Amino acid sequence: MPKKELKEIFISYLKDNGHRITNERILILDSALSMGNHFDADELYSKMRSDFIRVSRATVYNTLELMNNCKILTKHNFKGDRARYETKHGRKNHYHIICLSCNKILEFENQSIEKTLLKVCRNKNLKLTDYSIQVFAACESADNCTLTNQPCKIQ
Q: CA-based diameter of the chain, in Å?
A: 53
CA distance 85 to 112: 25
* Residue 63 · residue 19 · CB < 8 Å: no
| Minimum distance from residue 146 beta carbon to Zn ion (Å) | 8
Considering the complex, state which of residue 83 and residue 139 has its C-beta at the smaller distance from Zn ion: 139
- The site for Zn ion (CB under 5 A) is made up of 86, 99, 101-102, 107, 139, 145
| Minimum distance from residue 73 beta carbon to Zn ion (Å) | 11
Considering the complex, state which of residue 67 and residue 145 has its C-beta at the smaller distance from Zn ion: 145
| Minimum distance from residue 33 beta carbon to Zn ion (Å) | 15
CA distance 44 to 119: 38
Considering the complex, state which of residue 43 and residue 55 has its C-beta at the smaller distance from Zn ion: 43
| Minimum distance from residue 96 beta carbon to Zn ion (Å) | 6
Considering the complex, state which of residue 116 and residue 134 has its C-beta at the smaller distance from Zn ion: 134
> Among residues 84, 64, 89, 93, which one has the least CA distance to residue 152?
84
State CA 31 to chain mean position distance: 13
| Minimum distance from residue 21 beta carbon to Zn ion (Å) | 28
Considering the complex, state which of residue 27 and residue 85 has its C-beta at the smaller distance from Zn ion: 85
> What is the layout of strands, in order, in the sheet containing 39-40?
39-40, 84-87, 73-76
State how beta strands 73-76 and 39-40 pair: unpaired
